[in-house]
């Protein structure tokens, strides 16, 4: 019997407001424990929360970016549960009237498009963090309330995903969109994006859903992909071995690459939700929502599709260029000056990206880089004025110092020599100095020509046109 998987994702993203959701404590990451706290976020008796308007603002933008309908009327609810890092013993969340509903994202998989539904997006407060003392005989645990009350948006997908790869693509689009609209940095390492996966299997063609397991504790999108892959295999094996699959929460162990049962959830949780009496319901103004919708940028996945259609870029290039908004904007600036779309893309993904990675910089931090100079550099190489090697050598100056590449070419005398008569004498010299290689070439080992060309390049300080050099060797040998 063949099985198929049914996957739904729950993503929590931290909305990047300066202050917390119901008080004015800072949301800054990495401060000493319990320094970003006040009576409100520590859940002291008698305090009153007040909604941070910026949280609502960013939640609406996030909802719009994910094609959701924004609710005209929305409220907060208390979700009751006990945990030591939850000082009020309830979390303020949204239950039946979330801020955004019925969204979707289109993913492209192997050339076809698939629509993944987004059930809802709601606002809630984050809990604190427990730190357990390590080492033999340690008995203490500590609690840090800095994160308590940090604003989150929880985004729940429909169980429309069928493979780990689809989940991976969906997460990337979701992350890129939220970054484009600047509501979250979606940094998984700092916990500003977390993802849980609900996974079940069923025989192909069957409608009813199987019993699901909730998989947690993945710290990268690749880990989500691997954890789902493992979980599908585990469940199929269990069914084939006639074991019963129980509804449970499982933790991903990244070292062993397996999921481990954490607690069974045989019965549905009863959180005893009820409306939060200390916060008034929200009515988001229609005009405000429409203004926010108008201000949305072109979304990264839509942009990538356009790059493929208009600029004929391969999907991998289009995805890479659009994954960072500022890189995409720079690309669009560059192609205004030069319509060799693919070559510009190569230089941005190659030299520029390598430079940024090496220096751990963002493109916005390169204050002297201009699209004019960058395009000049690409053109110099493209038209054969300088060699690709020289181009790469001066790229750093163009990127970092904003130097005019034409000027450096002049100053350093980098102009490529394509005149056969000028190169011929060097070729003759190299032939004379390397009788062994020449002999091998004549015996049919034509690959040595690479070595000979290299010698000419060295002697010409990289200025000889390699194609001309190659041609001369072929003629002479
Ligand atoms: Zn506070």
What tokens does 138 get? 């340690």
Query: Is residue 94 pLDDT above 90, yes or no?
Result: yes
Query: Is residue 354 pLDDT above 70, yes or no?
Result: yes
User: How far, in Å, from the CA of 144 to the mean position of ligand 1?
Assistant: 13
Mean pLDDT score, 83-102: 95
User: How far, in Å, from the CA of 278 to the mean position of ligand 1?
Assistant: 16
Q: Residue 215: beta bridge partners? A: 197, 250
User: How far, in Å, from the CA of 42 to the mean position of ligand 1?
Assistant: 7
What is residue 268's predicted lDDT score, i.e. its pLDDT?
59
What tokens does 316 get? 């991998």
Contact 326, 320 (CB under 8 A): no
Query: Is residue 263 pLDDT above 80, yes or no?
Result: no
Instruction: Give how far Cα 99 sits from Cα of 120, 449, 465, Å.
Output: 8, 67, 62
User: How far, in Å, from the CA of 19 to the mean position of ligand 1?
Assistant: 8
Per-residue buried b or exposed e for 214-239, using 16+ beta carbons within 10 Å of the residue's own CB: bbbbbeebebbbbbbbbbbebbbeeb
Is the domain spanning 420-476 CATH 1.10.10.410? The answer is yes
Exposed/middle/buried for residue 304 (C-beta within 10 Å: 0-12, 13-18, 19+): buried
DSSP state of 23: S
Question: Domain boundaries in the chain?
Answer: 3-288, 298-412, 420-476
Contact 386, 380 (CB under 8 A): yes
Distance separating alpha carbons of residues 232 and 230, to the nearest angstrom: 6
User: How far, in Å, from the CA of 125 to the mean position of ligand 1?
Assistant: 11
For residue 242, count other CB atoms closer than 10 A to its CB. 6
User: How far, in Å, from the CA of 55 to the mean position of ligand 1?
Assistant: 15
Sign, CA dihedral 240-242-243-249, equals positive
Residue 293's H or E segment, with its range, is: helix 286-294
What is residue 267's predicted lDDT score, i.e. its pLDDT?
56
Mean pLDDT score, 375-384: 91
Contact 417, 382 (CB under 8 A): no
- Condensed to tens digits (0 to 9), the pLDDT of residues 411-425 reads 888 787 878 888 888
User: How far, in Å, from the CA of 70 to the mean position of ligand 1?
Assistant: 28
What is residue 420's predicted lDDT score, i.e. its pLDDT?
82
Mean pLDDT score, 67-74: 96
User: How far, in Å, from the CA of 361 to the mean position of ligand 1?
Assistant: 33
Q: Which residues contact 413 (CB under 8 A, 6 or more apart)?
A: 463
User: How far, in Å, from the CA of 17 to the mean position of ligand 1?
Assistant: 13
For residue 159, count other CB atoms closer than 10 A to its CB. 19
**For residue 330, which phi and psi values (nearest 5 degrees)?**
-65, -45
Look at 249-258, 263-272, 301-310 and tell me which has the smallest mean pLDDT.
263-272
Mean pLDDT score, 122-129: 96
User: How far, in Å, from the CA of 63 to the mean position of ligand 1?
Assistant: 26
Longest pairwise C-alpha distance within the chain: 94
Look at 152-156, 351-355, 450-454 and tell me which has the smallest mean pLDDT.
450-454
DSSP state of 28: -
User: How far, in Å, from the CA of 147 to the mean position of ligand 1?
Assistant: 10
For residue 413, count other CB atoms closer than 10 A to its CB. 8
What is residue 425's predicted lDDT score, i.e. its pLDDT?
87
pLDDT bin (cut points 50, 70, 90) of residue 140 is: very high
pLDDT bin (cut points 50, 70, 90) of residue 299 is: very high
User: How far, in Å, from the CA of 155 to the mean position of ligand 1?
Assistant: 24
Q: Which residues contact 436 (CB under 8 A, 6 or more apart)?
A: none
Protein residues placing their CB within 5 Å of the ion ligand 1: 23, 25, 38, 40-41
User: How far, in Å, from the CA of 56 to the mean position of ligand 1?
Assistant: 18
User: How far, in Å, from the CA of 21 to the mean position of ligand 1?
Assistant: 9
Distance separating alpha carbons of residues 232 and 195, to the nearest angstrom: 17
User: How far, in Å, from the CA of 82 to the mean position of ligand 1?
Assistant: 20
């Amino acid at each position: 019997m063949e099985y198929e998987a049914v996957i739904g994702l729950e993503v929590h993203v931290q909305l990047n407001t300066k202050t917390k959701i119901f008080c004015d404590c800072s949301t800054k990451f990495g401060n000493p424990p319990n320094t970003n706290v006040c009576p409100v976020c520590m859940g002291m008796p008698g305090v009153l929360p007040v909604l941070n308007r910026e949280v609502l603002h960013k939640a609406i933008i996030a909802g719009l970016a994910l094609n959701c309908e924004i609710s005209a009327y929305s409220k907060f609810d208390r979700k009751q549960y006990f945990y030591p890092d939850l000082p009020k013993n309830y979390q303020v969340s949204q239950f039946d009237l979330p801020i955004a509903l019925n969204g979707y994202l289109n993913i492209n998989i192997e050339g076809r498009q698939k629509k993944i539904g987004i059930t809802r997006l709601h606002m809630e407060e984050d809990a604190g963090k427990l730190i357990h003392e390590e080492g033999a005989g340690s008995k203490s645990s500590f609690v840090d309330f800095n994160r308590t009350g940090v604003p989150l948006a929880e985004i729940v997908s429909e169980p429309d995903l069928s493979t780990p790869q689809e989940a991976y693509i969906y997460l990337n689009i979701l992350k890129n969109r939220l970054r484009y609209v600047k509501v979250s940095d979606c940094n998984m390492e700092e916990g500003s994006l977390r993802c849980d996966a609900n996974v079940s299997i069923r025989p192909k063609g069957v409608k009813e859903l199987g019993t699901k397991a909730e998989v947690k504790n993945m710290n990268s999108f690749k880990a989500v992909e691997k954890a789902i892959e493992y979980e599908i295999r585990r469940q199929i094996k269990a069914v084939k071995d006639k074991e019963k699959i129980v509804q449970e929460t499982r933790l991903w162990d990244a070292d062993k690459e397996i999921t481990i049962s954490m607690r069974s959830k045989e019965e549905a949780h009863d959180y005893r939700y009820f409306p939060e009496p200390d916060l008034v319901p929200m009515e988001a103004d229609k005009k405000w929502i429409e203004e926010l919708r108008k201000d949305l940028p072109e979304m990264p996945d839509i942009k990538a599709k356009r790059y493929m259609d208009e600029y004929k870029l391969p999907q991998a290039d289009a995805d890479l260029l659009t994954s960072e908004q500022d890189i995409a904007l720079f690309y669009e600036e560059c192609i205004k000056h030069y319509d060799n779309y693919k070559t510009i893309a190569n230089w941005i993904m190659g030299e520029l990206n390598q430079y940024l990675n090496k220096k751990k910089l963002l493109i916005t931090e390169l204050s002297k880089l201009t699209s004019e100079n960058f395009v000049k550099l690409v053109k110099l190489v493209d038209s054969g004025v300088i060699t690709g090697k020289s181009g790469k050598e001066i790229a750093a100056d163009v990127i970092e110092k904003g130097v005019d590449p034409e000027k450096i070419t002049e100053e350093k005398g980098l102009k490529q020599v394509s005149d056969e008569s000028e190169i011929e004498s060097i070729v003759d010299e190299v032939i004379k100095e390397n009788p062994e290689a020449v002999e091998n070439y004549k015996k049919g080992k034509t690959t040595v020509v690479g070595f000979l060309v290299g010698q000419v390049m060295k002697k010409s300080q990289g200025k000889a046109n390699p194609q001309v050099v190659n041609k001369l060797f072929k003629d002479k040998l």
